[in-house]
Amino acid sequence: MTDAQWEVLSYQGILAAAFLYFLAMLAYFVEVAGLRTVRADEEVTSPRTAVAGRLGLVLTTFAAVVHLAALVARGLAADPNRVPWGNMYEFTIAGTFVVTVLFLVSSARLGAQWLGPVVVTVVVAALMAAFLALDDAVLPLPDALNSVWLVIHVVSAVIATGAFTVGGILSVLHLVKARSTAERGYLARVPSADRLDQLSYRMHAFAFPVWTFAVLITGPIWAHQAWGSYWNWDPKEVWAFITFVVYAAYLHARATAGWRGRKAAYLALAGLATLWFNFIGINFFFGANSQHSYAAPETDSSVVVGASAQAAEEVGVVVGARDARGGTAGALLDESHEAVDDQGEDDHHDHDLEHSPNVDTSS
């Protein structure tokens, strides 16, 4: 298969996974609707409600398999082949895959199927945002990314981001559950606020050392290899460190000050806000001043036609990649090149006529 075919396959895989996630979300919503009149201590007797819950979990599992295949195809679409997290779009589809895997593992080991409606809804929203707002062509990695540390550093960052996101979801559920007095419905069947607080802490305790490894160990090593300095006070480095400090404060407060419940949940959500601002806000608002600007979405490259040879080659790569999905961009570019060539030939012919001593051009 060609690179363009792999790219098309990746896009089709992401769309198929998003569709399966959407069906799973609908199945979970049917389950939630069926639980409205069921008390927390009652067994679900409605076949439709029980089947909907199991169907949501099965569809989520199939969606995760398709999601993984799309990630692999994305990496194979690059020339040379690479890991599929070279920009915001790829990081998002990788991060949502990690969130899904963590949910499936939690369901199998901790019986956390009740997380399904919330987690799948978040994954569907993130994939929609990635496809509509962050979509980028498959481009070769910059020189700074051509390193084994890309795999080590970014994999750990993706895993930590996924775990922190699940921990944030648990913190939100804790806050909602603590205020709820419902005896029937979905919230009544969610574990107690104390149990949610404990699960959130365990998820954050897992994610924090992984994030520390990514930010304070592999990141500086990679920065020294790429730019000759372990720390450059780059906006993304600074916000990654801020995220580290906030989550360190969260874990420290729980361990020493005895912070539990609402205060700990708010602090965890503050950490999640810094995490996602580091991922999205830095790239959009400070990308021009960041050495990590390669992760930001590419701008429209059509205005670069006629610039330097290197820029023209990059434009050709982008147009060619998008042509795999659109089918018209490459043709339009070819027509524009032909028109320029024809105009050049006409100008050259007129120039020869004007300077030929045997041709009268006065008429």
d(CA 112, CA 198) in angstroms, rounded, equals 13
Q: What does the pLDDT look like over 23-68, one tens digit per residue? A: 999 999 999 888 887 777 777 778 888 899 899 999 999 999 999 9
Length of the chain: 363
Q: For the chain, which residues make up each domain, given as ranges?
A: 1-141, 305-354
In this predicted structure, what is the pLDDT of residue 120? 95
In this predicted structure, what is the pLDDT of residue 83? 78
In this predicted structure, what is the pLDDT of residue 55? 94
2-19 in b/e form (b: 16+ CB < 10 A) is: ebbebbbbbbebbebbbe
In this predicted structure, what is the pLDDT of residue 288? 52
d(CA 269, CA 200) in angstroms, rounded, equals 11
Across the chain, which has 363 residues, the per-10-residue mean pLDDT values are: 86 94 95 82 78 93 96 86 80 92 92 91 92 78 73 88 93 90 82 90 94 89 78 82 93 82 90 89 65 51 35 38 42 46 51 45 38
In this predicted structure, what is the pLDDT of residue 346? 53
d(CA 85, CA 93) in angstroms, rounded, equals 9
pTM attached to this predicted model: 0.74
Residues 6+ apart with CB under 8 A from 234: 290, 291, 292
Q: Which helix (H) or strand (E) holds 225?
A: helix 219-227
In this predicted structure, what is the pLDDT of residue 62? 96
In this predicted structure, what is the pLDDT of residue 300? 43
Picking from 185, 86, 100, the residue whose alpha carbon sits closest to that of residue 144 is 86
